[in-house]
Chain A
Amino acid sequence: MSEQSAKSTGRAWDDERLAGAYRALAARPAPLDLIDDTLAATAEKGHRIGRSGRGHAWLTLAGPRAVLAGGAVALGLAAILVASLVFRSTPSAGSGSSSALPSASSTPMTLSIENDTTIAVTLVVNGKVIETVPAGGYQDPIKAELPGLPWNVETRSPSGRLLSSMTVHAGDVWQTTLPNGNGEQHGDAVRVDLSCGRLDVWSGPPLLGPAPGPGQSGDCA
């Protein structure tokens, strides 16, 4: 417990007391080596790469953070997008390192959306409207109940125009730890750059990547 800790007084948890507790909880500055470790991770792995399309993967790096955590239990979480296609039925075909995957394990299937456009987007799964995500809306994961897999996922504009689509199968989302200690996560995602902004839908790790493209006139109608 930090020296800044405020002892419990038994009084009500009003805003002032809560703010004080938050300040005490977060009173510690960042560890001295965190900046250097972060810059090293950025320089080494933070390439600005990415692509749209179905199937993508992240690497999670077991690096300096695990050392800083003071034990082997904390995995390094510096994550980078690897712009490789991952084939659902043959996951090892997606990247060179995957041929050495020791034990891929599937993870719970979720669906997420980031609507960074200026229009409301309707999310449809297996023909059923799940919800309408407002402009600037973000849900990771979507709370609404989803039908059983596989999911035929579509996003539609207010006029009903199809904006993007993808299919998610059971087992598409999985992760593994490589022999070198790095982790790898795979999932499905689709990205579309419209004239009114970017729309991402994904299952598994989210998409990163380059600046949005310009889109085409009228594509947000």
Chain B
Amino acid sequence: MDGALAGRSLVDLARSGDAAAFESLVRSRMDAVYRLGLAILGDEADAADAAQMTFVAAWQQLPRLRDPDRFDAWLQRVAVNSCRMALRTRGRRRIREIPMAEMDLAQKRALGVAAPRRADDEILREAMRHLSVDQRAILALHYLDDRALTDVAEILAIPVGTAKSRLFKARADLDKALRAEERR
């Protein structure tokens, strides 16, 4: 049995309530879901929360999945929705954690010391704060794993043309935020 068939079989079993099959799906997909959460949320604790929420929701909603061959796209969509909820919940209930590196930077600025050059992922993380969660999601889906626009559209359940225009707008907004962040 090849990998695709094995995956399909696991999804079929999990849909019918096989907990062991679902566990295999969790083990094989956790890293991908967690990484997507990191790319959208920019925070490890939030990404872990969203990943856990993704799989709990996936277990509950699996019977809704009509086409097991589309499980991975469906799971990514559940993950995006979980990130949306995590971000919304964080906005309401969570105190922002300030990384030590950020505190050092602020102190150096206050003292007039030249700030060290920041890493690209750090700049990206800060720039993302200026984007909506939908914009973060479409950018992460496209750039993190070099997904084609058709795949991104399938995950987000939107037409390809819509995905294209949303990606274009999100990229433009991110560019502005990145440039502003680099000037800081």
Contact = CB atoms under 8 A, between A and B. Distances in A.
B51 interface: yes
Nearest to A64: B52
A34 B30 contact: yes
Nearest to A63: B52
A146 interface: no
A73 B95 contact: yes
B120 to A, nearest CB: 4
A48 B58 CA distance: 10
Contact of A77 (B22, B52, B92, B158): B52
Interface residues of A, number: 71
A38 B52 contact: yes
Nearest to A208: B60
Contacts of A21: 120-121, 123-124
A25 B143 CA distance: 11
Given A65-B45, A74-B45, A24 B22 contact: no
Interface residues of B, number: 68
B149 interface: no
A5 B122 contact: yes
Given A22-B140, A37-B52, 14 more contacts: A8-B120, A17-B120, A31-B48, A34-B51, A42-B59, A48-B17, A48-B62, A71-B45, A71-B97, A73-B95, A74-B49, A75-B89, A138-B156, A208-B61
Interface of A: 1-2, 4-10, 13, 15, 17-31, 34-35, 37-39, 41-43, 45-50, 60, 65, 68-71, 73-81, 107, 116, 134, 136-138, 140, 175, 198, 205-206, 208-212
25 contacts: A1-B119, A8-B182, A13-B175, A21-B123, A21-B124, A22-B140, A26-B36, A26-B38, A38-B30, A41-B56, A42-B59, A65-B48, A70-B45, A71-B45, A74-B46, A74-B49, A77-B85, A78-B52, A78-B56, A107-B92, A198-B64, A205-B85, A208-B61, A210-B64, A211-B64
Interface of B: 17, 19, 22-23, 26-27, 30-31, 33-36, 38-39, 42, 44-46, 48-53, 55-57, 59-64, 81-82, 84-86, 89, 92-95, 97, 101, 117-125, 139-140, 143-144, 146, 156-159, 174-175, 178-179, 182
